[in-house]
Structure 1
Amino acid sequence: MTGFLQVSHTPSIKAFLKRGKGISSKHIEVFGSIMRDDDISSISTWESEVTDSTTSPFSEKLMLYHILYLDAAGMGSYGTAMSTSNRRDLGITYSRLIAEIATYLDDGAELMVRLGWYEKPPCAVERNKLAGI
């Protein structure tokens, strides 16, 4: 997120990436505090590996798609972790964070649609509208 954020130039994409960075930081803090409470060494981030470049090697379209794909994969990982964990406190945490990611992903898909980079995803047929109700 940090690298993509510093090379993005479109205000709507920058705002979306900034929001995603905040969500990521929050998730790291949530799980880091659980680990600290259980006397488990905390996780480290990769932010120190991000260069100071402001020239993007990728298009913003590719960066946004990549973020949405990785977040969807992360949401799936949280689901798997929730289904295999015996700790209720973690299950509640996973479900809360999954909901947050799902909202973020939905907003990202809508952003891609607005930018013309993504077709409207398939959805249920609006039967009432078809029937004129």
Structure 2
Amino acid sequence: MSKRTAITSSEIGILWMTYKQKTMITRMLDYFIEQADDEEAKEIMTSLQSEIKPYIQRIADIFKEEGMVVPLGFTEADVNKGVPKLYDNGFDIMLLRLLKQISMGMHTLNLTMAYREDIINLFRELTVITQRYYEICTAYLLQRGLLTRSPSVPMPVKVDFVKDNSYLGGINPLATKRSLNTVEVSHMYHAIEANLFGMTLIKGFAQCAHEQEVKDYFSEGGKLAQEIIKDLSQLLAASDLKVPVPPGGNITKSTLAPFSDKLMMYCVSLFCSFSLGGNSLGTAFSLRNDIAATLAGIMKDVFEYAHKGAKLMIKHSWMEEPPPTN
């Protein structure tokens, strides 16, 4: 397949989204590398940044070759490297790990929407890089006690089949609910873990944002994350399973913003999209009706919150328009 094959609408879209995300990550790394006091964390972030930057340029070159304008994305104007730490205690690598989770999903999906050899290769290479750094970040956090593992359960010793429809029940408050299965636990635990981190991130953003309505929006997001954690934790606790706790990533007292309101709003929008995707999978793979209903309710709340954020970004001219089809 020739590299001169005409680029498709799908390929333009996935490259555009990737350019935005990678420029955001690069700008965030600018700040966290500057503030890092742990040499291993600094090395991880510096190494990742050096691997990401060539791909930003490769995407820009593809756009130029196709006669298309290069997105603005995020620039040095969106980061304030010299301000004091807004977060500490491993937050930088916790953030990087969550960003790599998002990137893994996006790159894999993007591979299924690419047709041209050079673009397929680009996303294949990004997938390999992302998986490697996700593993590095996970190992770093586990070694320092900054990441809790999901609960252990007794090992099954025989194959069982569902015997009746009560296995799907759970909505009737008078009926006995079966314990959660490990598939359901995996999705709920992951959602709680992500929201615990997201709550810390967004509360820090609320503490330092410039615009008051942006501060208020972030504060609302912190409360939403707290409610999600509470609802899902109750489901785990009802099956006598331990609930994730935030072992690190504290907010300092600094009120000086390391990032522009525009970048912070985009970051929260990205996390909302990640939450919607994760909860949709959790709903699809949960067989107890009350779990599916809880996750569907969470998706509704997150969608409404994200939509409110989109309106706020449009109001302040922070939302870069995706390439149109005509």
Q: Say yes or no: TM over 0.5.
A: yes
After superposition, the Cα gap between the structure-2 partners of 1:3 and 1:47, relative to the gap in structure 1 and judged at 3 Å, is: farther
CA–CA distance in 2 between the matches of 1:58 and 1:47? 21
Query: Contact 1:61/1:117 (CA < 8 Å) preserved in 2?
Result: yes
State the secondary structure of the residue aligned to 2:242.
coil
Equivalent residue number for residue 31 of structure 1 = 232
State the secondary structure of the residue aligned to 2:240.
coil
Query: Contact 1:16/1:108 (CA < 8 Å) preserved in 2?
Result: yes
Say yes or no: does 1:2 pair with 2:203. Answer: yes
Equivalent residues in 2 for 1:1-133 (5 A)? Answer: 1-45=202-246, 49-118=250-319
Equivalent residue number for residue 125 of structure 1 = none
Question: Structure 1: which 4+ aligned runs deviate by more than 2 Å?
Answer: 45-48, 119-122
Query: Contact 1:113/1:120 (CA < 8 Å) preserved in 2?
Result: no
Deviation, 1:9, is 2.5
CA–CA distance in 2 between the matches of 1:119 and 1:52? 32
Deviation, 1:23, is 0.3
CA RMSD in angstroms comes to 1.8
Query: Contact 1:112/1:118 (CA < 8 Å) preserved in 2?
Result: yes
TM-score of the superposed pair, with normalisation by structure 2: 0.36
CA–CA distance in 2 between the matches of 1:83 and 1:56? 39
> Which amino acid counterpart does residue 33 of structure 1 have in structure 2?
Q
Find the structure with the greater CA-based Rg.
2
Comparing 82-91 with 45-54, greater Cα deviation is found at 45-54
CA–CA distance in 2 between the matches of 1:112 and 1:9? 14
Comparing 48-57 with 12-21, greater Cα deviation is found at 48-57
CA–CA distance in 1 between the matches of 2:258 and 2:275? 24
Deviation, 1:2, is 1.3
> Which amino acid counterpart does residue 20 of structure 1 have in structure 2?
G
After superposition, the Cα gap between the structure-2 partners of 1:78 and 1:109, relative to the gap in structure 1 and judged at 3 Å, is: same
CA–CA distance in 2 between the matches of 1:45 and 1:37? 20
CA–CA distance in 2 between the matches of 1:59 and 1:43? 31
TM-score of the superposed pair, with normalisation by structure 1: 0.85
Comparing 109-118 with 44-53, greater Cα deviation is found at 44-53
CA–CA distance in 1 between the matches of 2:292 and 2:205? 31
Structure 2: where are the runs of 5+ without partners? 1-201
Deviation, 1:38, is 1.1
CA–CA distance in 2 between the matches of 1:74 and 1:107? 16
Deviation, 1:77, is 0.1
CA–CA distance in 2 between the matches of 1:51 and 1:91? 37
CA–CA distance in 2 between the matches of 1:47 and 1:53? 17
State the secondary structure of the residue aligned to 1:94.
helix
| Percent of residue pairs bearing the same amino acid type | 26
CA–CA distance in 1 between the matches of 2:255 and 2:215? 13
